[in-house]
A and B are shown apart, each in its own frame.
Chain A
Amino acid sequence: MGKITIAPLTRLEGHGKVTIKLDDSGKPADVKLHITALRGFEQFVIGRPAEEVPRIVPRICGICQTAHHLASVKAVDAAWGAQIPSAAEKQRELMHLGNMIHSHALHFYYLAAPDFVLGPDADPAIRNIVGVIDAAPEVAKKAIAMRRVGQSMVEATGGKPIHPVTGIPGGLSKSMSEEKRDELLAEIDTMIQYGQDGLDLMKSLNEKYLDTINSLGVIDTWYLGLVKDGKHNFYGDTLRFVSPDGSEKMEFKPAEYLDYLGEHVVEHSYVKYPYNKKVGYPEGLYRVGPLAMINVCDSMSTPLAEEARKEFAETFGRPANQSIAYNQARLIELLSACERAKELLEDPEIVSTDVKAEVEPKAGNGVGVVYAPRGTLFHNYETDDNGIVTKANMIVATTHNVPTMEKAIQQAAEVLFKDN
């Protein structure tokens, strides 16, 4: 029996290896994705004052740090029973959208587009963003501008573009200035336009690669995402599971997550495998991220993105189960994030200085959930009378997707090795 190891797995933030064991006829018999890094955040936030934790956990991921910052501060707010002012909620949401715009632009243009724009068979040495800059400078220019505006949005509201710091229990330590608001407003229509251009580019590529999209990495799983009144929502409210064929739905609030989510320790990876507890392991494995978000919502919350979602459903079905359709789903969200950011920037409360309520530390248990750019994210802390963390649980975005990523690689391997 042969064995193939692919290491390091590239263009995956974090650390991965894939091993493919082949049977005697050279067909893949066993495919494993090994996540090889562990840092232990659940342990080392214990003993820290809870208000410090939103400044520690962003280091889980340098790409979606803002989502960790916000899920974390929401968890502390919930544990201490803090009611935060509506202006603070809006400014936090804008911070979140900025991160979404940066991350989705990064993921599509810097990580996925090189394969599409330059072709999957291009020399690996140029099949990256540098190659895109040479081959399609217009595309690169838009990618850079979207990331810049996204990061500026985070810096304007969060104090730092990477690892923001303003989220404190009770609200924010600082409000956004009018000057920064005006700067962002001046660019937001262009960003919405770029968002639409990105979708057009994706659709033209789809035509070229539709066979690949419909054959590689097509798997049936549950989907988990966030909605508010049934509509797609980046920042919070209600979790929704949808079954592989779309027939079944389950909804729950963040505080009820223990009833719905389980995690299973596996031998071959530092990452645990989360699953829908009502269904069980492994049948209840699920996907999160853009594809899941588009699959679980009834509609998008902004008009242009909703048009795009309808078209997407026509092309890929509902729920769509093609892993490569993630790219188009991501672009729909990128457009929606720009549209929603515009709504917020036009709201006078976005520069209100009423952003902090009084809070008292106390013993409590709180769950904070946001949709991070790669998927729904959970932080849960327990605190003692002084507001010091005594217990923590985190289910982070990429973790949710690891088991199904493995499944998708398995399926892709079967297709790719079929003719050997």
Chain B
Amino acid sequence: MADKVRLGLIQLCGCSGCHISLLDLHEQLLDVLPNLEIVYAPIIADVKEIPECDVFLIEGGARNEHDEHLIHEIREKSKVVIAWGTCAVYGGIPGLGNLYSAEQLKKTVYGTETTDNVGELPSDEMVPPLTNSVMPVPSIVDVEYVIPGCPPRPEINAGAIVALLEGRDPELPKKIVCDECPRTKENVIPETFKRTFEGTPDPEKCLFEQGYTCVGMGTRAGCGALCPSAGVPCRGCYGKTDEVLDQGSSLANTYAAAGDEALKISDKSALFNRFTLPAALISKKQE
């Protein structure tokens, strides 16, 4: 791609954090931007119709019929589609909604303590109906690449863009968060598990081995082990590695080594698949 790349960007069922992470290239933006022609980006520019694009970055999966429709339209109009960020790739945090039916979600949201007309629901034709579950982009259309991370670090975004400009395939880290983590490991299995606020973790040693429910061993590297470096366990926001099918099952395997104690950890489905429930083997609550 010698000429400027015609780039499209959109936020669907995401939080716009992936877009912000792109801006977090800061001064480097001035080097990257001249190579791009941003032809569609509702967050920053007033263009209403989706044009033909070389590359399209989709942030977020689909939570309603309109999202789904846009994903199809983008696929038709773009040469390269990238599922950008963990929401787009695996469903992300909004995917926790898959633990409940769409009806239940609405009932709770429109039934809070401050709501004065409980029982009424948005119903206008301009409000697109919710889908039954959150669907990651690759479950709707074929994509050329995925860039996981919640959000992907700016250098991962820049790396992918530069690779595309040079006609290479963007590559993802193959390792796990533990490989980037500065904490020391002794290969012991914890005897009991603790919650994050309990006690004061030793700042040098592996959090998992101290009994904190870190999931770095089942999570793709790329962030530089930010959370364990800040004193809290990894929650798996870069999703699974290439070797496994499902982040949750692979983590369950690791934790099973601790025996009964692991069974006592509360809320395991939302811990082991915190960011990846819609892409898990069992991806939604069965009704």
Residues of chain A having any CB pair with chain B under 8 Å = 6-11, 13-15, 17, 19, 32, 34, 36-40, 42-44, 46-49, 51-52, 55-56, 58-63, 65, 106, 110-111, 124-125, 127-130, 133, 140, 144-145, 147-148, 151, 158-163, 165-166, 168-170, 173-174, 257-258, 261-270, 272, 274, 281, 356, 359, 361, 380, 386-388, 391-393, 395
A395/B114 in contact, CB under 8 A? yes
CB distance from B112 to the nearest CB of A (A): 4
5 A-B pairs besides A43-B97, A60-B15, A267-B127 with CB distance below 8 A are: A56-B96, A58-B15, A262-B116, A268-B122, A388-B267
B138 at interface by CB-CB < 8 Å = no
A-B contact pairs, 13 of them (CB 8 A): A36-B66, A37-B64, A49-B195, A52-B235, A59-B15, A59-B94, A60-B15, A65-B15, A151-B24, A168-B232, A169-B197, A174-B230, A386-B266
Contacts of A161 in B (CB 8 A): 24
Instruction: Name B127's contact: one of A49, A51, A169, A270 (CB within 8 Å).
Output: A270
Q: Let me know if A144 and B120 touch, CB within 8 A.
A: no
Please judge, given known A-B contacts A42-B112, A393-B114, whether A165 and B197 are in contact too, CB under 8 Å: no
In the A-B complex, the 7 residue pairs with the closest CB atoms:
A62-B17, A159-B230, A173-B231, A40-B105, A62-B15, A124-B46, A268-B124
Given contacts A11-B44, A148-B26, is CB(A272)–CB(B110) below 8 Å? yes
Contact A163 B46 (CB under 8 A): no
* Contact residues in A for B99 (Cβ distance below 8 Å): 44, 47
Contacts A49-B266, A269-B127; A42 near B16 (Cβ below 8 A): no
Instruction: List the B side residues contacting A6 at CB < 8 Å.
Output: 48
Q: Which A residues are in CB contact (< 8 Å) with B2?
A: none
Q: Does B114 lie within 8 Å of A258, measured CB to CB? A: yes
Residues of A within 8 A of B271 (CB): 52
Asked whether B249 is an interface residue with its Cβ less than 8 Å from the other chain, the reply is no
Shortest distance between the CB of B255 and any CB in chain A (Å): 16
Cβ of B106 < 8 Å from any Cβ of A? Answer: yes
Report yes or no: B126 in contact with A258, Cβ–Cβ below 8 A: no
Distance of A287 from chain B, by nearest CB (Å) = 18
B94-125 interface code vs A (CB 8 A; 1 in, 0 out):
10110110001110111011111110111110
Does any Cβ of A come within 8 Å of B130's Cβ? yes
Interchain nearest-CB distance for B1 vs A (Å): 18
**A44 adjacent to B197 (CB under 8 Å):** no
The answer to whether A262 touches B114, judged by C-beta atoms less than 8 angstroms apart, is: yes
Contact: A10 with B45, CB < 8 Å?
yes
- On B, residues with C-beta under 8 Å from A are 11, 13-21, 23-24, 26-27, 29-30, 33, 38-39, 41-48, 63-64, 66, 87, 92-94, 96-97, 99-100, 104-106, 108-110, 112-118, 120-124, 126-128, 130, 150-151, 195-197, 200, 223, 226-227, 229-232, 235, 237, 266-267, 270-271, 274
- A133 to B32 alpha-carbon distance, docked (Å): 12
When chains A and B are docked, how far (Å) is the Cα of A173 from the Cα of B197?
Answer: 8
Residue from the list B19, B43, B120 in contact with A265, Cβ < 8 A = B120
Contact A44-B97, Cβ < 8 Å, known A39-B63, A65-B15: yes
The answer to whether B23 touches A44 (Cβ under 8 A) is no
- A46, A124, A258, A263: the one contacting B47 at CB < 8 Å is A124
Q: How far is the CB of B93 from chain A (nearest CB, A)?
A: 4
Return the chain A residue nearest B86 by Cβ: A59
Contacts of B13 in A (CB 8 A): 37, 39
Q: How far is the CA of A173 from the CA of B214 in the complex (A)?
A: 14
Residue from the set A127, A168, A380 with the largest chain B CB neighbour count within 10 Å:
A168
Complex Cα distance A268/B123, Å? Answer: 7
- Which residues of chain A are within 8 angstroms of B96 by Cβ–Cβ distance? 44, 56
With a 10 A CB-CB cut-off, give which of B16, B42, B123, B127 has the most chain A CB atoms. Answer: B127
**Least CB distance, B193 to chain A, in whole angstroms:** 12
B212, chain A: closest CB distance, angstroms: 10
Shortest distance in angstroms between A297's beta carbon and chain B's nearest beta carbon?
A: 25
Q: Give the chain A neighbours of B117 by CB distance below 8 A.
A: 264-265
Report chain A residues within 8 Å CB of B104.
Answer: 43
Looking across the interface, which residue of chain A has its beta carbon closest to that of B122? A270
Residues from chain B with Cβ under 8 Å of A395 in the complex:
114
Are the C-beta atoms of B232 and A44 separated by less than 8 Å?
Answer: no
> Whose C-beta in chain A lies nearest to the C-beta of B270?
A48
Q: How far is the CA of A223 from the CA of B125 in the complex (A)?
A: 31
In the assembly, what is the distance between CA of A266 and CA of B113, in Å? 16
Decide if A168 touches B124 in the complex (CB within 8 Å).
Answer: no
Contact B46 A11 (CB under 8 A): yes
